């Protein structure tokens, strides 16, 4: 359990940095580039990310799961060599397809897409799944931390106006590439390269393909709105939606980081037959993530107007409206991620995950095509939230009896009530005649204080809360350790 907690803190520390850095760069970039260039970057990067998705072919979840189950260095080395060889084989085909696509692309986007090719090369070299499977999160976090900080410094140093747009594209793409290269010098610590067994390598294609369908569908319902807006409305609308989505993805990164840490641990527990321990982890995680998700969802709603005015400028006022429509998706993403990363994928029930995201992708495409021509960016925001709700519902239906839905979700009511009360009290400050900066800070402090106090009170009321029991157990362990230190 201690290693899990350490890994969670590593991932959360990294995600905290990922959350803080946009707060530094977004106000600068949004003003320097403006809605149109921000929209152009979002539009082209969405296209490139579809090719990146093809390169990865579901290897992150499958590779992490396989490495976590390996019982020896020799087995781990063999599995790594087989997995990476099939990954490289697929990547080469995708690279050829990308070069062909760029040659046919509109002239105004061709040089941008070529520059973003570094993202594709980065996906060739991506072996983060090896370290995730080994639960070596410190290594990936520290390397990516350094690369991101250097990228931010470079943006402020060299991107001064719209004429530097291509340089901005290069810095963002090359930073991702550098982050992957930085992981390779440490591979020999954990695995030895073996000659790939091509039959075994290709056996990985089926489970990777199944997970790829799920990841691809997720990417579609996450990004398709930007493509529809670019084709049906204008690039400014893409820019508004892009920054609303960026804000939502910051808290989502916290949630998915927890799932990334827990997936290999849960895969190992289920493989060892420790089902009771795994179910306890699942219950604690669900309750904890709902408190986190409720705080983030209602907190964003509380400060969205002042936040957009302060950090993005008056040119992005529409983004605040989109945040109101998209923030509830955080709650459904949290539940879906816990169930998926701690039960569905560790138990090889990939089909449940695939069906859920396929339904969501189809629903999102239909809703975007219907709503965007009528209400523009609002339609993209509504479609996105409905897609996440669809994943939540469809994913739970086939496993509801196995998990015991009522028992699992009953404690989740309290975080929603706490979040609602904190939001109501924070919104009372809307009538105060103070600047946006002061109002954001005041609202944040009031919301946080109320949420923390009411959360503590709600846990005291829940005598059988797994989260409460785990917190008491953790505090008792810390207390005993301190006592031992004093007696030395």
- Count of domains in the chain? 1
Structure tokens at 198: 């091509």
pLDDT in tens, 361-380: 889 889 989 998 899 889 98
Q: Best-predicted range by mean pLDDT among 126-130, 476-480, 484-488?
A: 126-130
From residue 76, alpha-carbon distances to 135, 158, 271, 277, 471 in Å are 13, 43, 16, 25, 35
Residue 429 counted as domain residue:
yes
User: Does the pLDDT of residue 477 top 70, yes or no?
Assistant: no
Sorted by sequence, the CB contacts under 8 Å of residue 145 that are 6+ apart come out as 14, 17
- Averaged pLDDT for residues 147-171: 88
- Averaged pLDDT for residues 357-362: 87
Question: Which pLDDT score, from 0 to 100, does residue 471 have?
Answer: 64
Question: Which pLDDT score, from 0 to 100, does residue 23 have?
Answer: 65
Residue 26 counted as domain residue:
yes
Structure tokens at 476: 């008792």
- Averaged pLDDT for residues 109-129: 87
Distance (Å, whole) CA 435 – CA 439: 6
Domain range holding 460? 2-478
- The answer to whether 221 and 357 are in contact (CB under 8 A) is yes
Residue 157 counted as domain residue:
yes
Question: Which pLDDT score, from 0 to 100, does residue 432 have?
Answer: 59
Percent of the chain with pLDDT over 70: 89
Structure tokens at 69: 């189950």
Residue 413 counted as domain residue:
yes
Residue 257, phi then psi, degrees to nearest 5:
-60, -40
User: Does the pLDDT of residue 404 top 90, yes or no?
Assistant: no
Residue 228 counted as domain residue:
yes
Question: Which pLDDT score, from 0 to 100, does residue 468 have?
Answer: 67
Residue 483 counted as domain residue:
no
Question: Which pLDDT score, from 0 to 100, does residue 343 have?
Answer: 82
The full DSSP string for 366-383 is HHHHHHHHHHTHHHHHHH
Question: Which pLDDT score, from 0 to 100, does residue 295 have?
Answer: 92
Exposed e or buried b per residue across 273-294, where buried means at least 16 C-beta atoms within 10 angstroms of its C-beta = eeeeebbebbbbbbbbbbbbbb
Residue 484 counted as domain residue:
no
- The answer to whether 344 and 352 are in contact (CB under 8 A) is yes
pTM over 0.85: no
- Averaged pLDDT for residues 148-162: 88
Question: Which pLDDT score, from 0 to 100, does residue 382 have?
Answer: 92
Confidence of residue 478 (pLDDT cuts 50, 70, 90): low
Confidence of residue 386 (pLDDT cuts 50, 70, 90): very high
Distance (Å, whole) CA 467 – CA 470: 5
Average pLDDT, the chain: 81
Crossing angle, helix 329-339 and helix 377-396, to 10 degrees?
30
pLDDT in tens, 206-233: 777 777 777 777 777 677 788 788 778 7
Question: Which pLDDT score, from 0 to 100, does residue 81 have?
Answer: 87
pLDDT in tens, 434-452: 777 888 888 889 999 999 9
* Window from 74-88, 165-179, 253-267 with minimum mean pLDDT: 253-267
Residue 7 counted as domain residue:
yes
User: Does the pLDDT of residue 341 top 90, yes or no?
Assistant: no
Question: Which pLDDT score, from 0 to 100, does residue 476 have?
Answer: 60
- The answer to whether 263 and 61 are in contact (CB under 8 A) is yes
Q: Best-predicted range by mean pLDDT among 33-42, 98-107, 192-201, 438-447?
A: 438-447
Question: Which pLDDT score, from 0 to 100, does residue 481 have?
Answer: 65
pLDDT in tens, 76-118: 888 888 888 888 888 888 888 998 888 876 677 888 888 998 9
Question: Which pLDDT score, from 0 to 100, does residue 195 have?
Answer: 82
Question: Which pLDDT score, from 0 to 100, does residue 323 have?
Answer: 92
């Amino acid at each position: 359990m201690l290693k899990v907690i350490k890994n969670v803190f590593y991932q959360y520390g990294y995600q905290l940095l990922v959350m803080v850095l946009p707060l530094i760069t977004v106000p600068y970039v949004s003003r320097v580039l403006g809605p149109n260039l921000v929209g152009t970057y979002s539009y082209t990067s969405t296209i490139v990310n579809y090719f990146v998705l093809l390169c990865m072919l579901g290897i992150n979840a499958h590779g992490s799961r396989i490495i976590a189950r390996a019982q020896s260095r020799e087995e781990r080395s063999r599995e790594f060599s087989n997995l990476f060889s099939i990954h490289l084989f697929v990547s080469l085909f995708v690279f050829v397809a990308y070069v062909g696509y760029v040659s046919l692309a509109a002239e105004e986007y061709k040089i941008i897409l070529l520059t973003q090719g570094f993202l594709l090369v980065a996906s060739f070299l991506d072996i983060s799944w090896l370290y995730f499977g080994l639960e070596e999160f410190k290594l990936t976090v520290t390397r990516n931390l350094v690369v991101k900080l250097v990228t931010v410094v470079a943006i402020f140093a060299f991107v001064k106006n719209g004429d530097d747009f291509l340089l901005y594209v290069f810095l963002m793409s090359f930073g991702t590439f550098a982050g992957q290269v930085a992981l390779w010098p440490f591979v020999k610590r954990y695995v030895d390269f073996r000659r790939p067994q091509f039959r075994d390598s290709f056996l990985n294609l089926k489970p990777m393909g199944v997970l790829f369908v799920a990841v691809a569908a997720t990417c579609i319902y996450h990004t398709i709105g930007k493509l529809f807006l670019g084709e049906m409305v204008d690039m400014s609308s893409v820019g508004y939606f892009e920054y609303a989505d960026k804000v939502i993805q910051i808290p989502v990164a916290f949630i998915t980081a927890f799932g990334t840490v827990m997936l290999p641990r849960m895969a190992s527990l289920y493989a060892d037959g420790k089902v009771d321990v795994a179910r306890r982890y699942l219950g604690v995680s669900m309750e904890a993530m709902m408190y986190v998700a409720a705080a983030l969802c209602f907190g964003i709603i509380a400060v969205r107007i002042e936040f957009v005015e302060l950090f993005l400028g008056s040119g992005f006022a529409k983004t605040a409206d989109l945040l109101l429509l998209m923030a509830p998706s955080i709650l459904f993403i949290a539940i879906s991620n816990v169930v998926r990363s701690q039960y569905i994928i560790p138990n090889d029930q990939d089909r449940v995950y695939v069906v859920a995201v396929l339904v969501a992708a189809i629903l999102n495409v239909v809703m975007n095509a219907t709503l965007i021509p009528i209400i523009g960016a609002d339609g993209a925001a509504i479609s996105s939230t409905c897609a996440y709700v669809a994943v939540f519902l469809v994913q739970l239906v086939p496993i509801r009896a196995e998990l015991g839905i009522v028992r699992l979700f009953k404690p989740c009511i309290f975080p929603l009530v706490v979040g609602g009360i904190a939001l109501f009290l924070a919104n009372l400050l809307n009538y105060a005649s103070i600047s946006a900066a002061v109002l954001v800070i005041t609202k944040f402090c009031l919301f946080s204080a109320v949420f923390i106090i009411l959360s503590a009170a709600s846990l005291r009321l829940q005598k059988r809360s797994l989260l409460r029991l785990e917190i008491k157990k953790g505090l008792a362990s810390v207390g005993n350790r301190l006592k031992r230190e004093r007696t030395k």
